Chains A and B, each alone.
Chain A
Amino acid sequence: MLRLVVDLNRCQGYAQCAFLAPEVFAMHGDEGLLYDPQAQDAHRARVAQAVAACPVQAILVDELDMAATAPGAPGGAAPAAGEASDA
């Protein structure tokens, strides 16, 4: 499991996460965002893409969960992606 939280004060509905990881993030209307606060392991690489792409850096992924992501996992989760989340 991969724990995550979105700072919805920062979120402005750019929807990059919902494009790149639609299993975890979904737009609710034009601007609202819903997400699964515990993504499945299978979606790690997608979540890493969403975290990096967020234009307002609003997605926080658990540092410890992310560190456990093996480099070269399917789709290749980025080692730096978890770090990129703590803006």
Chain B
Amino acid sequence: MPDTATDRLKADGRIVVVGASLAGLRGAETLREKGFKGSLTMIGDEPHEPYDRPPLSKQALLGMGSAERTALPRRRDIDAEWRLGVAASGLDMAARRVRLADGDEVPYDRLLIATGVRARPWPNQAEGELDGVFVLRTREDGAALARRLNAGPRRVLVIGAGFTGSEIASACRERGVEVTVAERADAPLVGALGGVIGAVAAELHRENGVDLRTGVMVTALEGDATGRVRAAHFSDSTSLECDVVVVSLGAQRNTEWLSGSGLGAGPRGIACDAGCRAFDIRGIVTDDIFVAGDVARSPHPLFGYQFLSLEHWGNAVSQAETAAHNMLSESTERRPHIWVPAFWSSQFGVSIKSVGVPSMGTEIMITQGSRAERRFTGVYGYQGRVIGAVTFDNSRWLQFYQQQIEATAPFPPPFPTVDRRPEGQKPLPADFPDPSLPTHGPTVTLSGYSPADRRMTFHPAGH
């Protein structure tokens, strides 16, 4: 079948990738690998070639490697035109053009959107601009924070005990820096892993010398006469002197540039089908616009076809590969993106890994090991089936539980395992906070069944 539309696209089509980070890069590499010979344009708002972000809250703060040197290795040469340091500012779906912040326009035959997320800023802008107040998302953020830690601050305050916040606190303690962590919930990591595991995380913080304050909010940051942060005030009327503040309140999706474009984009992300094709605002799937990575929300067959948003490194890679494959395929050859959510964190010398969607779980059973020893496997149950699992320094068992999730195996697991302890004889309530409260950290957001995010249309994002 020579000279189909797909063949022509592969031979001399124009593909534009908006977002030059992990998903954008792996998508572009996959396009070339699948035989795309046309023109490829990579648009990124940051002035850097694609770099890896997980090291920014770990190695880079510990002095093993530097924030400026985490550029992602390439799987192959992608022979692209790079438009770096200029953000996409708009999309004309009818004319198939991406508008850039510098006024330029880039036409496309196929578009891959991988604009990701950014750090949620401190809500009070003036306080957020005080010297010594940081967020951690970009290379510059990481380098600036690492420099400040190198200078030996008296006390660091981390606001938000999600994964990133906890990793920053861990790095501070490892470097002998005093650190306070303020978390609105009752324990760290509760949004992602629930209260049972949150309690273990809280012990880890405290054993390692973190001044962990839970159930409180930071109400104000106070600067000195020179504009440097000097104190924070809490909802329990206490205050704390600190010279570094890291705001770690989760992420916001970079979709504002699509406002008014007609694409189904909003604060919860860009809705796409299981084949990574974007929905328009009417709920009709597009044929030329694809989405991948943190900015995407897509339905997952294992989780009742609800739309999932995943801020997961592995999802960015896998979804980008699927999107790229589908961009160059006839409809019958397209593949669904059915990656099982998985993430990791490394904090206080413990490797924490998870598969599935723990936050859907209503119960948890510690099937192996012991929480007191900080070495265990916890399995999450939802409506009588296994829906997620977490391990603390027990990752070699995790693939078994992933298979259980994929097989929708019954919960509680009706079999014995090695290393079963008294605490693992029966399930406990998983103790997740009220889902209407937003949580922090790279986790999973379930966002219902509607491809349109109407909040964007009628209630533009704001604080």
Which A residues form the contact surface with B (CB < 8 A)?
A: 1, 3-5, 7-9, 11-13, 26, 28-38, 60-65, 86
Report Cα–Cα, A35/B317, bound state, in Å: 20
Q: A52 to B252: give the CA distance in the assembly, Å.
A: 38
Q: Does B346 contact A (CB under 8 A)?
A: yes
15 chain-A/chain-B pairs, Cβ below 8 angstroms: A1-B69, A8-B346, A11-B395, A12-B395, A12-B396, A13-B393, A29-B351, A34-B58, A36-B65, A37-B59, A37-B65, A37-B69, A38-B70, A60-B73, A62-B73
A66 CB, nearest partner CB in chain B, Å: 9
Residues of chain B having any CB pair with chain A under 8 Å: 52, 54-55, 58-59, 62, 64-65, 69-77, 313-314, 317, 342-344, 346, 348-351, 353, 393-396, 398
Q: Do the beta carbons of A9 and B344 come within 8 Å of each other? A: yes
B348 CB contacts on chain A under 8 angstroms: 29
Chain B residues within an 8 Å CB radius of A35: 59, 64-65
Q: Do the beta carbons of A63 and B59 come within 8 Å of each other? A: no
User: Chain A: which residue is nearest B396 at the CB level?
Assistant: A12
A37 and B395 in contact (CB under 8 A), knowing A3-B73, A64-B77, A86-B75? Answer: no
A60 and B55 alpha carbons, distance in the complex (Å): 15
Give the tally of cross-chain contacts (CB within 8 A).
92
Measured between C-beta atoms, what is the minimum distance from A81 to chain B in Å? 13
- Nearest A-chain residue to B374, judged by Cβ: A29
Which of chain A's residues has its CB closest to B70's CB? A37
In the complex, A64 Cα to B75 Cα: how many Å? Answer: 8
Does the CB pair B64–A36 fall under 8 Å? yes
Say yes or no: A31-B395 contact (C-beta < 8 A), given A37-B70, A38-B71, A60-B75.
yes
- Give Cα A26–Cα B55 distance, bound, in whole angstroms: 13
Known: A8-B54, A34-B346. A13 touches B72 (CB 8 A): no
* Given A3-B72, A38-B71, 18 further pairs, Cβ under 8 A: A7-B314, A8-B54, A8-B313, A8-B344, A9-B344, A12-B396, A28-B346, A29-B350, A31-B351, A31-B395, A34-B62, A37-B52, A37-B71, A60-B73, A62-B74, A63-B76, A63-B77, A64-B77
